[in-house]
Structure 1
Amino acid sequence: MRTPTMPLSDIKIRNLKSGDKAYKVSDFEGLFILIKVSGAKSWRFKYRIDGKEKLLVIGDYPAVTLAKARLARDAAKALLANCVDPNEAKQEDRRIRLEANGQTFEKISDAFLAKQRKEGKSAATLSKTEYHLKLANQDFGRRPITEITAPMILKTLRKVEAKGNYETAHRLRARIGSVFRYAVASGIAEADPTYALRDALIRPTRVHRAAIIDPTALGQLLAQIDDFKGQATTRIGLKLLAILAQRPGEIRNAVWSEFDLQERVWSIPAAKMKMRRDHNVPLPDQAIALLDELKLMNNKSEYLFPSLRTWTRPMSENTLNAALRRLGYSGEEMTAHGFRASFSTLANESGLWNPDAIERALAHVEKNEVRRAYARGEHWEERVKLADWWADQLSGFVRAIDV
């Protein structure tokens, strides 16, 4: 290290030459200039805080002149006098500037959500995404996205894991990753740090939704639903779940404009479907009768099943499962989603129906792209017969209980 006996001057700095190794030349009061092997010259300020020695990088010469470097040192010393770390103050200033430019995680996640809305993502998908991103924003939403590291994200994920919510932790990692990939595509970030966390989380045990697939047991459940003492709309909702075998969210969010009772069809738009495809559901006699009954109860709301608090919103997503619990069925015995498994299992076991027709009735999409290309038909005529058969089967299960 070369140490001059006098403070630096511009002439001395200009005459400093690079060598085989980087070296530093002091000015005074902790300020020095680092001469790199490349010949670049960088101002640094050495200081101590909380008993630790630290360095503040001020900037490169000649963009940062000697006079500016000394002013920066004096400003850093003033911060130290107030027990403020100059490096932390510098990072906070940068965060404020980046936040003003809209480059924080929170603002980029808002832009990502706006993009999803324009793409027509379902209300359920948007709600879950908003929930997960809210968890992330609580911890690092105000940070510039370029400053967020994998350990920071892991700390947030570990808090979710600590509550035993392993599946939520995995979904949260995926949603945070989606925001980062959006930022990369937008030229704001350079990489997705969640990629490094793929194997860092506890893998959740996959548990299939509970379902009753025994005809006698299913008949007993349906008989209990007929005698349900709660809201009549909840009883009808459970019965329609069983008859139509659609997802609970699709039943819950159904609106009257989607139903053509004369043509006996329920047309669900792609925006509401998990697989993002329009889906038509044939309506058997039993479903038509329930819809007629429901129509008499509901003359204000666009929803078939409006919330008890306001008819401008659908019923809570917990209502149907809660009703099953009131009937004495635990989550390990039966769920609202389980009616789909009941239909799928018993329809396939009957051997009467094309498996593709059953899959289309459930709005499943063939994963094999080649096979999907050859299975373009909706199997509509067969699905109409299948719907009538299934509704009659359910009625028969209940009659068998009464015998």
Structure 2
Amino acid sequence: MPLTLKQIENASPKTKPYKLSDGGGLCLLVSVTGAKLWRWRYCFDGKEKMMAFGEYPALGLKDVRELHFEARRILISGSDPMAKRKAEAQDKQKAIRDEQRESEKSFEKIARCWWDWWAIGKSPRHAETVMNRLEADVFPAIGHLSADDIQPGQVRNIITAIEARGASDVAKRAHQTIGQIFRFAIARDLATRNPAGDFKPRDVLAAVESENFARVDETDLPELLVKMDNYEGDALTRLGLKLMAYCFPRTSELIETPWTEIDLVRARWEIPRERMKMKTPHIIPLSRQAVDVLKALKLLAGRSRLVFPGANDKTIPMSNNTLLYALYRLGYKGRMTGHGFRGLASTILNENDFDEEHVDLQLAHMKRNKVSAAYNHAKYLKQRTAMMQWWADYLDTQLEKGNAATLNH
């Protein structure tokens, strides 16, 4: 007779294991500990075998009968149910191992390994920004894919999607980061090719109007500052280069400055909207070093209303190319421009844990609508003042480093 739930529940352990039959070779084995185990006795190829299904009550009566029925169907078809189950288990384990191996080569897995390796020595804020951008823009698109399955078109789609939201600079950096990750993978036999290397951002991103962004690397900054400090040309030009470095304004904003914008007592340089590229007012907090430079410029300017008057006509600003040509004479043609100080400041400040919004505001890069334009120019002024003093101190440290290197040679 088939078993009933009442019989199963009432089955108590005895001094020896015993079985309760359900028919067709299926039985419930009651152990001396009270465990109730489903077993099926059958014959295959002339040999008697015992197949385990599971334990009651985790495996109920209805469920075990379904398993028993399926096992008998396999036996009738001419196969050994236990051998088939073992083969299926091995196939499943193999699939799991294969999936694990593939996951080791997934782009996201490789990218996170790259980040752990790359982030050593980087500022925490900069490293976090890079990972945040990968998680927001890159992993959702290709993170789950095996590195060798990723095609150039998928990388293109990522950076054009970033560009579409108005972040072309971020799109370029995303392309650069993806390329770095693939090079890391290739060097470790985790990938065989770099799909980001098949094209450059300018091949797919819209051209944007830009200034000459040529600039030296941070490692070359000490030597540049030494050469600027020892510039043997016009004193006005030498001081202009120093003020450009300390304050990193746009060149036109620097050379056209009237003294009415400079407040040496409050240590502020306030540029009206008419003179700004973004057509909104801009405040540059003046570091102690910048104030000293401006005091020296005041002596040179005499009665001129301009901080940087022309060499022949004191009523007009110096030539727009004066500072650029001075850099040429110092040996930096094609390597450094006035705008280059802005790029250096942006990179170094961001990599030294300064808030990205504070840096963008100081560069006058922040997008502002007409309602907020009158107010945002003074936003985070306390934090920006501290940041500008840190920057000036940093430049002085680099100058000292450059001077020490010159003496050692």
Question: What TM-score does the superposition give when structure 2 sets the normalisation length?
Answer: 0.45
Which has the higher Rg, Structure 1 or Structure 2? 2
